[in-house]
Amino acid sequence: MKFAMIGAGAMGLRYGILLQEAGNDVTFIDTWQPHIDKIREQGGVYQMRDHKDRHLVKIKLETPESYNGDPDMLIFFTKQMQLNDYLKRCSHFFNDKQYAFTCMNGMGHIEKLQKYFADDKIIGGTALIATVLPGPGEVDFMGKRGAGKLNMCPLTEKPDEMTHRLFDELQKADMNPTLTDDFTGTLMTKVIFNSVINTICTMFEIPMGEFGNFPGAADMARQLIDEAYDICARADIHLVSSRKEELHAIDINTRIDMPLHYPSMYQDMTKDRPTEVDYINGYIANLGRQYHYEAKTHLFMTQAVHLAEFHRQNL
Protein backbone atom coordinates (compact mmCIF):
# COMPACT_ATOMS: atom_id res chain seq x y z
CA MET A 1 0.00 0.00 0.00
CA LYS A 2 1.17 3.56 -0.68
CA PHE A 3 1.28 5.75 2.44
CA ALA A 4 2.11 9.42 3.08
CA MET A 5 2.93 10.18 6.69
CA ILE A 6 1.81 13.75 7.33
CA GLY A 7 4.09 14.78 10.18
CA ALA A 8 7.34 12.86 10.55
CA GLY A 9 7.76 13.44 14.27
CA ALA A 10 7.95 10.70 16.91
CA MET A 11 4.73 8.89 15.96
CA GLY A 12 4.84 9.57 12.23
CA LEU A 13 8.31 8.03 12.12
CA ARG A 14 7.33 5.03 14.26
CA TYR A 15 4.23 4.15 12.25
CA GLY A 16 5.90 4.97 8.95
CA ILE A 17 9.12 3.03 9.57
CA LEU A 18 7.19 -0.03 10.80
CA LEU A 19 4.86 0.12 7.77
CA GLN A 20 7.90 0.53 5.49
CA GLU A 21 9.58 -2.51 7.08
CA ALA A 22 6.34 -4.46 6.51
CA GLY A 23 6.76 -3.86 2.76
CA ASN A 24 4.74 -0.70 2.12
CA ASP A 25 5.74 2.31 0.03
CA VAL A 26 6.01 5.16 2.58
CA THR A 27 6.81 8.84 2.07
CA PHE A 28 7.29 11.13 5.06
CA ILE A 29 6.17 14.74 4.86
CA ASP A 30 7.36 17.31 7.35
CA THR A 31 7.80 21.05 7.86
CA TRP A 32 10.28 21.34 10.75
CA GLN A 33 13.37 22.64 8.96
CA PRO A 34 16.13 21.49 11.39
CA HIS A 35 14.64 17.95 11.24
CA ILE A 36 14.42 18.02 7.42
CA ASP A 37 18.02 19.30 7.13
CA LYS A 38 19.35 16.66 9.54
CA ILE A 39 17.56 13.77 7.81
CA ARG A 40 18.88 14.92 4.41
CA GLU A 41 22.41 15.39 5.76
CA GLN A 42 22.42 11.91 7.40
CA GLY A 43 20.67 10.18 4.50
CA GLY A 44 17.90 8.98 6.83
CA VAL A 45 16.73 8.87 10.43
CA TYR A 46 18.66 7.43 13.36
CA GLN A 47 16.30 5.01 15.08
CA MET A 48 16.78 3.56 18.56
CA ARG A 49 14.77 1.26 20.77
CA ASP A 50 14.81 2.18 24.47
CA HIS A 51 17.94 4.35 23.86
CA LYS A 52 19.85 1.37 22.37
CA ASP A 53 20.69 -0.06 18.92
CA ARG A 54 21.04 3.35 17.23
CA HIS A 55 21.04 2.76 13.49
CA LEU A 56 20.27 4.65 10.30
CA VAL A 57 16.99 3.98 8.53
CA LYS A 58 16.67 5.34 5.00
CA ILE A 59 13.40 7.17 4.39
CA LYS A 60 11.81 9.18 1.59
CA LEU A 61 11.28 12.68 2.95
CA GLU A 62 9.42 15.56 1.32
CA THR A 63 7.95 18.88 2.38
CA PRO A 64 4.25 19.58 1.72
CA GLU A 65 5.30 21.83 -1.15
CA SER A 66 7.74 19.40 -2.78
CA TYR A 67 5.49 16.30 -2.67
CA ASN A 68 3.41 15.43 -5.71
CA GLY A 69 2.64 11.75 -5.13
CA ASP A 70 -0.72 10.00 -5.01
CA PRO A 71 -0.82 7.86 -1.85
CA ASP A 72 -3.73 5.51 -1.06
CA MET A 73 -3.67 6.52 2.57
CA LEU A 74 -2.53 9.64 4.40
CA ILE A 75 -1.61 9.12 8.04
CA PHE A 76 -1.78 12.30 10.10
CA PHE A 77 0.53 12.56 13.09
CA THR A 78 0.93 16.25 13.83
CA LYS A 79 0.27 17.98 17.12
CA GLN A 80 -3.34 19.23 17.26
CA MET A 81 -2.33 22.87 16.88
CA GLN A 82 -0.21 22.11 13.76
CA LEU A 83 -2.91 20.25 11.82
CA ASN A 84 -4.62 23.17 10.07
CA ASP A 85 -1.34 24.42 8.67
CA TYR A 86 -0.36 20.92 7.43
CA LEU A 87 -3.80 20.39 5.83
CA LYS A 88 -3.62 23.71 4.02
CA ARG A 89 -0.08 23.15 2.77
CA CYS A 90 -0.70 19.52 1.71
CA SER A 91 -4.13 20.06 0.14
CA HIS A 92 -2.69 20.32 -3.39
CA PHE A 93 -2.06 16.56 -3.47
CA PHE A 94 -5.36 15.47 -1.83
CA ASN A 95 -7.98 13.76 -3.99
CA ASP A 96 -11.33 12.14 -3.32
CA LYS A 97 -10.02 8.55 -3.54
CA GLN A 98 -7.56 8.94 -0.69
CA TYR A 99 -8.19 7.89 2.90
CA ALA A 100 -7.12 9.85 5.97
CA PHE A 101 -6.16 7.91 9.08
CA THR A 102 -5.00 9.36 12.38
CA CYS A 103 -4.30 8.25 15.94
CA MET A 104 -3.54 11.73 17.27
CA ASN A 105 -4.32 12.47 20.91
CA GLY A 106 -7.02 14.93 21.90
CA MET A 107 -10.12 16.03 20.00
CA GLY A 108 -10.69 18.68 17.35
CA HIS A 109 -8.72 17.02 14.55
CA ILE A 110 -11.63 15.11 13.02
CA GLU A 111 -13.61 18.26 12.23
CA LYS A 112 -10.51 19.68 10.55
CA LEU A 113 -10.02 16.52 8.46
CA GLN A 114 -13.70 16.62 7.45
CA LYS A 115 -13.06 19.92 5.66
CA TYR A 116 -10.78 18.05 3.21
CA PHE A 117 -11.99 14.41 3.22
CA ALA A 118 -15.45 12.82 2.92
CA ASP A 119 -16.72 11.03 6.04
CA ASP A 120 -16.42 7.63 4.36
CA LYS A 121 -12.70 8.26 3.79
CA ILE A 122 -11.81 9.12 7.41
CA ILE A 123 -10.56 6.49 9.85
CA GLY A 124 -9.84 7.54 13.41
CA GLY A 125 -7.98 5.79 16.12
CA THR A 126 -6.01 5.93 19.33
CA ALA A 127 -2.44 4.81 19.95
CA LEU A 128 -1.25 3.36 23.22
CA ILE A 129 2.47 3.42 22.60
CA ALA A 130 5.38 5.62 23.66
CA THR A 131 7.76 7.20 21.18
CA VAL A 132 10.26 10.00 21.70
CA LEU A 133 11.96 12.39 19.30
CA PRO A 134 15.20 13.20 21.16
CA GLY A 135 16.17 15.81 18.55
CA PRO A 136 16.17 16.48 14.81
CA GLY A 137 16.79 13.32 12.75
CA GLU A 138 16.49 10.90 15.71
CA VAL A 139 13.64 8.74 16.99
CA ASP A 140 13.44 6.42 19.97
CA PHE A 141 10.83 3.64 19.90
CA MET A 142 10.04 2.88 23.54
CA GLY A 143 9.24 -0.75 24.31
CA LYS A 144 10.11 -4.00 22.57
CA ARG A 145 9.05 -4.79 18.99
CA GLY A 146 5.33 -5.54 19.19
CA ALA A 147 4.87 -3.29 22.23
CA GLY A 148 1.82 -1.06 22.38
CA LYS A 149 -1.52 -1.29 20.65
CA LEU A 150 -3.99 0.82 18.76
CA ASN A 151 -7.74 1.06 18.32
CA MET A 152 -9.21 2.12 14.99
CA CYS A 153 -12.69 2.80 13.69
CA PRO A 154 -13.99 4.37 10.46
CA LEU A 155 -15.98 7.57 10.99
CA THR A 156 -18.97 5.85 9.32
CA GLU A 157 -18.58 2.93 11.79
CA LYS A 158 -18.88 0.65 8.73
CA PRO A 159 -15.45 -0.82 7.94
CA ASP A 160 -14.89 -1.03 4.18
CA GLU A 161 -12.21 -2.83 2.14
CA MET A 162 -9.61 -0.07 2.74
CA THR A 163 -10.23 -0.17 6.49
CA HIS A 164 -9.51 -3.90 6.44
CA ARG A 165 -6.42 -3.41 4.24
CA LEU A 166 -5.11 -0.78 6.65
CA PHE A 167 -5.84 -3.09 9.58
CA ASP A 168 -3.90 -5.92 7.87
CA GLU A 169 -0.89 -3.69 7.14
CA LEU A 170 -0.84 -2.43 10.75
CA GLN A 171 -1.04 -6.00 11.98
CA LYS A 172 1.84 -7.07 9.69
CA ALA A 173 3.82 -4.15 11.12
CA ASP A 174 3.30 -5.60 14.64
CA MET A 175 1.23 -2.66 15.83
CA ASN A 176 -1.56 -4.70 17.39
CA PRO A 177 -4.62 -2.99 15.92
CA THR A 178 -8.17 -3.58 17.18
CA LEU A 179 -11.13 -2.59 15.05
CA THR A 180 -13.80 -0.98 17.24
CA ASP A 181 -17.41 -0.14 16.37
CA ASP A 182 -17.94 3.20 18.11
CA PHE A 183 -15.97 6.08 16.61
CA THR A 184 -16.51 8.88 19.14
CA GLY A 185 -16.54 6.50 22.11
CA THR A 186 -13.16 5.07 21.07
CA LEU A 187 -11.54 8.48 20.69
CA MET A 188 -13.07 10.00 23.83
CA THR A 189 -12.03 7.04 26.01
CA LYS A 190 -8.40 7.80 25.13
CA VAL A 191 -8.91 11.56 25.62
CA ILE A 192 -10.06 10.84 29.19
CA PHE A 193 -7.09 8.53 29.78
CA ASN A 194 -4.73 11.28 28.58
CA SER A 195 -6.59 13.93 30.60
CA VAL A 196 -5.34 12.20 33.74
CA ILE A 197 -1.85 10.90 32.96
CA ASN A 198 -0.51 13.42 30.45
CA THR A 199 -1.73 16.45 32.31
CA ILE A 200 -0.65 15.50 35.82
CA CYS A 201 2.78 14.16 34.79
CA THR A 202 3.42 17.24 32.67
CA MET A 203 2.40 19.70 35.38
CA PHE A 204 4.69 18.07 37.95
CA GLU A 205 7.37 17.05 35.41
CA ILE A 206 7.33 13.46 36.67
CA PRO A 207 7.49 10.05 34.96
CA MET A 208 4.25 8.08 34.81
CA GLY A 209 5.31 5.59 37.49
CA GLU A 210 5.77 8.36 40.03
CA PHE A 211 2.14 9.36 39.58
CA GLY A 212 0.93 5.72 39.56
CA ASN A 213 2.75 4.94 42.80
CA PHE A 214 1.48 8.07 44.59
CA PRO A 215 -1.06 6.94 47.25
CA GLY A 216 -3.53 9.65 46.15
CA ALA A 217 -3.30 8.77 42.43
CA ALA A 218 -6.56 6.80 42.30
CA ASP A 219 -8.52 9.63 43.99
CA MET A 220 -7.09 12.22 41.59
CA ALA A 221 -7.79 10.01 38.57
CA ARG A 222 -11.30 9.14 39.77
CA GLN A 223 -12.27 12.82 40.08
CA LEU A 224 -11.20 13.56 36.50
CA ILE A 225 -12.75 10.35 35.18
CA ASP A 226 -16.07 11.00 36.96
CA GLU A 227 -16.41 14.51 35.53
CA ALA A 228 -15.56 13.33 32.02
CA TYR A 229 -17.86 10.29 32.18
CA ASP A 230 -20.74 12.45 33.51
CA ILE A 231 -20.28 14.78 30.53
CA CYS A 232 -20.10 11.91 28.02
CA ALA A 233 -23.31 10.46 29.46
CA ARG A 234 -25.03 13.82 28.88
CA ALA A 235 -23.56 14.01 25.35
CA ASP A 236 -24.71 10.43 24.61
CA ILE A 237 -21.13 9.32 23.94
CA HIS A 238 -20.69 5.59 24.57
CA LEU A 239 -17.24 5.14 26.05
CA VAL A 240 -15.57 1.81 25.35
CA SER A 241 -14.47 1.27 28.98
CA SER A 242 -16.40 1.59 32.22
CA ARG A 243 -15.16 4.09 34.84
CA LYS A 244 -13.62 1.21 36.78
CA GLU A 245 -11.86 -0.14 33.69
CA GLU A 246 -10.50 3.33 32.83
CA LEU A 247 -9.13 3.73 36.36
CA HIS A 248 -7.58 0.26 36.16
CA ALA A 249 -6.01 1.02 32.74
CA ILE A 250 -4.45 4.20 34.15
CA ASP A 251 -3.09 2.30 37.16
CA ILE A 252 -1.56 -0.50 35.06
CA ASN A 253 -0.19 1.84 32.41
CA THR A 254 1.54 4.12 34.89
CA ARG A 255 2.78 1.63 37.51
CA ILE A 256 3.47 -1.49 35.45
CA ASP A 257 3.62 -0.84 31.70
CA MET A 258 5.44 2.49 31.36
CA PRO A 259 6.66 3.67 34.79
CA LEU A 260 9.74 5.41 33.39
CA HIS A 261 8.02 7.12 30.48
CA TYR A 262 7.20 10.83 30.33
CA PRO A 263 4.05 11.49 28.28
CA SER A 264 4.30 13.36 24.99
CA MET A 265 2.73 16.47 26.57
CA TYR A 266 5.66 16.61 29.00
CA GLN A 267 8.07 16.32 26.09
CA ASP A 268 6.48 19.36 24.46
CA MET A 269 6.55 21.46 27.60
CA THR A 270 10.18 20.72 28.40
CA LYS A 271 11.08 21.67 24.81
CA ASP A 272 9.16 24.92 25.31
CA ARG A 273 6.54 23.91 22.75
CA PRO A 274 2.83 24.48 23.38
CA THR A 275 1.03 21.45 24.84
CA GLU A 276 -2.17 19.81 23.60
CA VAL A 277 -4.00 20.43 26.92
CA ASP A 278 -6.70 22.60 25.29
CA TYR A 279 -7.58 19.62 23.08
CA ILE A 280 -7.68 17.17 26.00
CA ASN A 281 -8.86 18.57 29.38
CA GLY A 282 -9.94 21.81 27.68
CA TYR A 283 -11.99 19.83 25.16
CA ILE A 284 -13.75 17.89 27.94
CA ALA A 285 -14.54 21.14 29.81
CA ASN A 286 -15.93 22.77 26.64
CA LEU A 287 -18.04 19.72 25.87
CA GLY A 288 -19.38 19.95 29.45
CA ARG A 289 -20.41 23.57 28.90
CA GLN A 290 -22.55 22.50 25.93
CA TYR A 291 -24.50 20.28 28.34
CA HIS A 292 -24.62 22.82 31.21
CA TYR A 293 -22.07 20.85 33.22
CA GLU A 294 -19.15 22.70 34.74
CA ALA A 295 -16.11 20.42 34.64
CA LYS A 296 -14.32 22.29 37.42
CA THR A 297 -11.39 19.89 37.73
CA HIS A 298 -10.72 19.73 33.98
CA LEU A 299 -10.91 23.53 33.78
CA PHE A 300 -8.50 23.82 36.68
CA MET A 301 -6.10 21.28 35.13
CA THR A 302 -6.16 23.11 31.80
CA GLN A 303 -5.16 26.33 33.50
CA ALA A 304 -2.60 24.59 35.70
CA VAL A 305 -0.79 23.23 32.61
CA HIS A 306 -0.93 26.69 31.02
CA LEU A 307 0.55 28.08 34.24
CA ALA A 308 3.39 25.54 34.02
CA GLU A 309 3.97 26.59 30.36
CA PHE A 310 3.90 30.26 31.42
CA HIS A 311 6.37 29.57 34.23
CA ARG A 312 8.81 27.94 31.81
CA GLN A 313 8.51 30.84 29.36
CA ASN A 314 9.61 33.16 32.15
CA LEU A 315 12.59 31.08 33.31
Is 185 among the residues that bind ligand NAD (CB under 6 A)? Answer: no
Is 61 among the residues that bind ligand NAD (CB under 6 A)? Answer: no
Answer for which of 3, 4, 5, 9 binds ligand NAD (CB under 6 A) is 9
State the residue number with the nearest CB to ligand NAD. 9
Dist. CA 139–CA 146, nearest whole Å: 17
Dist. CA 258–CA 75, nearest whole Å: 25
The 10 Å Cβ neighbour count of residue 42 is: 15
Binding residue count for ligand NAD, defined by CB under 6 A: 27
Q: What is the DSSP letter of 241?
A: S
Query: CA separation (Å) from 244 to 191, 192, 228, 248?
Result: 16, 13, 13, 6
Is 288 among the residues that bind ligand NAD (CB under 6 A)? Answer: no
Is 98 among the residues that bind ligand NAD (CB under 6 A)? Answer: no
- Of 4-12, 152-160, 208-216, 224-232: span binding ligand NAD (CB under 6 A): 4-12
CB 184, CB 124: distance < 8 Å: no
Using CB under 6 A as the binding rule, the residues of this chain from 26 to 55 that contact ligand NAD are 30-32, 35
Q: Which is nearer to ligand NAD, 83 or 162 (CB)?
A: 83
Using CB under 6 A as the binding rule, the residues of this chain from 117 to 176 that contact ligand NAD are 127, 129-131, 133
CB of 255 to ligand NAD, least distance (A): 18
Beta strands in the chain (DSSP E): 2-6, 25-29, 45-49, 52-57, 60-62, 73-76, 99-102, 122-128, 131-135, 138-141, 149-154, 177-179
According to DSSP, the residues that pair with 178 across neighbouring strands are 151
Is 188 among the residues that bind ligand NAD (CB under 6 A)? Answer: no
Give the alpha-carbon dihedral of 58, 63, 66, 72, to 10 degrees: 70
Q: Which is nearer to ligand NAD, 13 or 228 (CB)?
A: 13
Answer for which of 24, 47, 105, 163 binds ligand NAD (CB under 6 A) is 105
Q: Which residues in this chain contact ligand NAD in the complex, by CB under 6 A?
A: 7-12, 30-32, 35, 77-80, 82, 104-106, 127, 129-131, 133, 264, 271, 273, 276
